[in-house]
Amino acid sequence: MHSSSPNTIKETLNAQYEQNDEGEIQLNNYVLEEELGKGSFGTVFRGRDTNDGRPVAVKVFSKTRLRKQHLQANGFGRMIGRGGMRGGMRGGMRPNLMRGPSNPIDFVRGEIAILKKLNHRNIVKLFEVLDDPNGDGLYMVYECCEKGTVMNISLNRKTESFDEEMCRYYFREMFLGIEYLHENDIAHRDIKPDNLLLAANGTLKIVDFGVSEMFSSGDDMSKKSSGSPAFFAPELCEIQHGELSAKACDIWAMGITLYCFAFGCLPFEGVSIIELYDLIQNKPIEIPSGMSDSFNDILLKMLERNPEKRITISEIRDHPWLTRNGIDPLPSKQENCTNVIELITEDDLQGAVRNINNLFTVIKAVSKLKQLRRLSNARKSA
């Protein structure tokens, strides 16, 4: 394996949004189109780069929501997720509730620094960060995943599931991205279908590195309870848990995600966070019929409640279900992890976005965008 050079991410400090001559809302050279949804820290719009016509996704970040997210991650938040409690009730409960970065923008700074270093076909790419030094907001421009989330999972509602071959395809794509992350001592910490998007050609892209963690080589122990509780490993459900393996937590979440792929629902659903945690820790794992014994075997090994006995990434690679007993081999680990990242330094974190304190809230930005859109529609109607 050899080191790769950092991804080139443009940093623009003079972001302006306005209505162009065609009545479209434009952010510098990006035309903003319809709203695609709300991520962990902001609103996402479909966009188009007027320089080359390529589709992009534009994330509008909110300083207010970043601070709120920090409080939720420390136990103050309610059980929330996209669309109410969609995607597994994003939040968490942690001891030492007020401990953490004094500035919640550190979460964004960390995500930018991580994405600046990663280079893998199954991990979303960040193209540009735009900041207005005279305003109070931040935009991030990513590659567009035109086909959206791989699956929409909601609490207490079954969705259409995939057949076993499609489950295998999507799981293999997810596995290759997570193997690359873990090889580079990064734990994602929020693996779920909501954070797996599909490009136009069907390639799966892992997104949302807002709560991801970086570790020293070989040491993935963490005390944090980041992520979405419906995808929490049992060891995360202990309110006063000590250090635990963040990579093992990722593997449990991969197992819950595979369960969703196959059966269109979550295996554990509670009416309260306490009930949910109890079910995750104690409810017998029931696998509906219809899948192969090999599928059931790998799923149960990922959903092993004892993290020390849980299957590892290297063991998943060797499991016959992934390759249909060798008929469809994976790229080798050396091929998959060729572009190892350079060490992410404190300078990377501090310099991820210059003048990062000059952020503006998504409330103001989205309000302005909607105002301009209404004006545009009124002119078109006239």
Instruction: Tell me how far CA of residue 10 lies from CA of 119, 320, 353, in angstroms.
Output: 16, 42, 10
Structure tokens at 259: 């369960």
Q: What is the pTM of this model?
A: 0.78
Q: Residues at the annotated binding site for ATP?
A: 59
Q: What is the CATH number of the domain that holds 158?
A: 1.10.510.10
Element (H, E) at 250: helix 246-263
Q: Which residue spans within the chain are E strands per DSSP?
A: 2-3, 10-12, 17-19, 25-27, 30-38, 42-49, 55-61, 126-131, 138-143, 148-149, 186-187, 196-198, 204-206, 213-214, 221-222, 244-245, 339-340
CA 280 from centroid of its chain's CA atoms: 22
Q: What is the pLDDT of residue 108?
A: 66
With left for phi above 0 and alpha for psi between -120 and 50, is residue 290 left, alpha or beta?
left
Q: How far apart are CA 199 and CA 308, in angstroms?
A: 35
Using an 8 Å Cβ cutoff, are 303 and 277 in contact?
no
Q: What is the pLDDT of residue 90?
A: 47
Q: What is the pLDDT of residue 129?
A: 83
Active-site residues: which are they? 190
Q: Print the domain residue range for 329.
A: 2-381
Q: Going edge to edge, which strands form the sheet with 126-131?
A: 10-12, 126-131, 138-143, 55-61, 42-49, 30-38, 25-27, 17-19
Q: What is the pLDDT of residue 340?
A: 67
Q: How far apart are CA 191 and CA 260, in angstroms?
A: 12
Domain count, the chain: 1
Average pLDDT of each block of 10 consecutive residues along the chain (382 residues)?
A: 62 79 89 82 88 93 66 53 44 42 53 82 91 69 94 90 98 98 91 95 92 79 81 91 91 98 96 95 95 98 98 97 96 88 59 44 48 61 63
